[in-house]
Structure 1
Amino acid sequence: MAARIDLTLDCADAQLLAGFWKTALGYIDEPPPPPFTTRAEWAAQFDLLEDDSEDDGAWLCDPDGVGPRLSILKVPEPKTAKNRLHVDVRVPGHGGAAERWARITAESERLVRAGGAVLEVFDGHHVVMADPEGNEFCVAAGPA
């Protein structure tokens, strides 16, 4: 049996990034683990430090249960270099090269409106983007 992975993204503002990545991936807030009924109830078990808040983290999941879980956690240090691992947002659909590129372009534009930024365009193939905190990701064609 293959192992499943979760992805964890360090950040300065967990709620800002959670909103962006929910828009980008179609993810939802992950329910708290049983037996907890709310994230606040779950967080209370950890005796957070005075400077910590339950808003310093966000947990997202694929509503269909297919994609990896995404944990977004506030850290004190800023991002200082290019990601060593990045996310590829794959835009589904059929068609020829022009149709695929139109979908990639439309998705990139949608993500700019959501707070992302275009870093580099590889015409006809993929777009390198950054989320609101500068974490790089790509938008490319994917399976139908």
Structure 2
Amino acid sequence: MANKIDLTLDCADAQLLGAFWKTALGYVDAPPPAPFTTREEWFASFDPPEGESVSDAAWLCDPEGHGPRLSLLKVPEPKSAKNRLHIDVRVAGHGSPGERWARIKAESERLVAAGGGVLAEFPGHHVVMADPEGNEFCVAAEPPPPAPSV
């Protein structure tokens, strides 16, 4: 069995980025781990240092349980370079190259309206974007299904 992954993104404003990534991915707030009933109760169990708050982080998950969980954690230092790992947002559907590109463009426009920015376009293939804190990600079409075996 393959291992599962979660993704963690350092940030300055976890609530801002949490709202953006919920919009981008269709994710929801992840429930607190059992046996806790709230994130506040779970966070308090760590006896955090004075000044740290549960709102300094956001925990997101795929409501269908398929995609990796995403944690957004406030850190004191600003982003200083290009991401070494980035997220690819894959738009669903296949069809002609023109139809796929139209879906990619529509999704990138939706994410601009949610606070993202376009960094570069590779017509017919993908759009490089940045979230509200400048973390790079791409919008592309999902790969076509595998060809049937003969």
- Bin the TM-score by the shorter chain: over 0.9
Q: Taking structure 2 as the reference length, what is the TM-score of the superposition? A: 0.94
Q: Is residue 140 from structure 1 mapped to residue 123 from structure 2 by the alignment?
A: no
Q: Taking structure 1 as the reference length, what is the TM-score of the superposition? A: 0.98
Q: Is residue 118 from structure 1 mapped to residue 118 from structure 2 by the alignment?
A: yes
- Cα RMSD (Å): 0.9
Task: State the partner residue of 1:13.
Answer: 13
- Structure 1 distance, partners of 2:49, 2:118, is 37
- Structure 1 distance, partners of 2:26, 2:46, is 29
Identical-residue share of aligned pairs (%): 76
Q: Alpha-carbon deviations, 1:13-34, whole Å to 9, x = none? A: 0000000000000000000001
- Structure 2 distance, partners of 1:122, 1:94, is 18
Moved >4 Å (runs of 4+): none
Question: Which 5+ residue runs of structure 1 have no aligned equivalent?
Answer: none
Q: Alpha-carbon deviations, 1:36-91, whole Å to 9, x = none? A: 10101111111122221110011100011100000100001100000010000000
Amino acid at match of 2:99: E
Task: State the partner residue of 1:94.
Answer: 94
Q: What SS is found at the alignment partner of 1:105? A: helix
- Structure 2 distance, partners of 1:61, 1:8, is 12
- Structure 2 distance, partners of 1:117, 1:59, is 23
- Structure 1 distance, partners of 2:51, 2:120, is 38
